[in-house]
Structure 1
């Protein structure tokens, strides 16, 4: 595959997508799970029977750690895969009866993070800067 340099508009769009999608996921889903951990343990769904703790920890990783990595542009594709997995479990296993309207936030997050998994972080990322410095 030919190595091309993306335009500044594409890089700014990917940065915007990384920042806004990650901050939205972090603020709406991730931080409340961390700040109200004990309460979340009592109400988190357990679709696979692993117990509330083993259901909550992957959600926190996907909704707190992964968005922070994506914001920085570090291991973006891998972080997106974790988010996509948790979102698919939520949409298909936990809330399979939701209409498109009821699940629109989840589906939009899936669109955002699948797009980033496909494209990568763009050139305006910490990972790219580190690679350039040591290349």
Structure 2
């Protein structure tokens, strides 16, 4: 019963959770990014242009975030850096693409945003390529 109400942080549990969260959130975002990548490759560009840089450039930036950065997230490679485009992507989704929608339609983007902010703060955790690279670099000195 004592453990149930404990506020102590179990580092191993945090690292396992970061692994599970990275794999799940990265894979789920890929389901949004891959169809956009296919549209970009096929030239089927019908996409919003919130920054005035053109629909093709906007779609390319979205594909970069949703596909490429999601793969980095799954691998735990440059996790904090990969989170930044994903955070920007979700902010644009919430405040531009879904701006006129009720909160219920924005919930998924908000959940993604919360996870991406968590990855920015916490990094990829012990079970990530970032950690493996960090360990190799520390062993050199």
TM-score range, shorter chain: 0.7 to 0.9
TM-score (norm 2): 0.84
Asked which structure has the greater CA Rg, the reply is 2
**Could you say what secondary structure the match of 1:103 adopts?**
helix
Residue 81, structure 1, aligned to residue 64, structure 2: no
Is 1:48 paired with 2:51?
yes
CA contact (8 A) 2:37 2:63 kept: yes
Unaligned runs of 5+ in 2: 1-9
Write out per-residue CA displacement over residues 2-61 of structure 1, whole angstroms, 9 at most, x where no aligned residue.
xxxx6221111000011100100011x10001122222x1x2111122111111111011
Q: How much does 1:89 deviate?
A: 1.2
Q: Does residue 1:121 correspond to 2:94, yes or no?
A: no
| Aligned counterparts, 1:18-57, within 5 A | 18-27=22-31, 29-37=32-40, 38-39=43-44, 41=45, 43-57=46-60
**Structure 1 CA distance, aligned partners of 2:87 and 2:51?**
17
Give the whole-Å Cα distance in 2 for the aligned partners of 1:132 and 1:103: 39
- Count the aligned residue pairs: 127
Q: 1:52 to 1:132 in 2, by over 3 A?
A: same
Q: Distance in 2 between matches of 1:114 and 1:80?
A: 7
Which whole-Å CA distance do the structure 2 matches of 1:34 and 1:44 have between them? 12
How well do the aligned residues superpose, as a CA RMSD in angstroms? 1.3
Whether the 8 Å contact between 2:98 and 2:105 is mirrored in structure 1 is no
With the length of structure 1 as denominator, give the TM-score of the two structures.
Answer: 0.88
Runs of 4+ deviating beyond 4 Å: none
SS at match of 1:47: coil
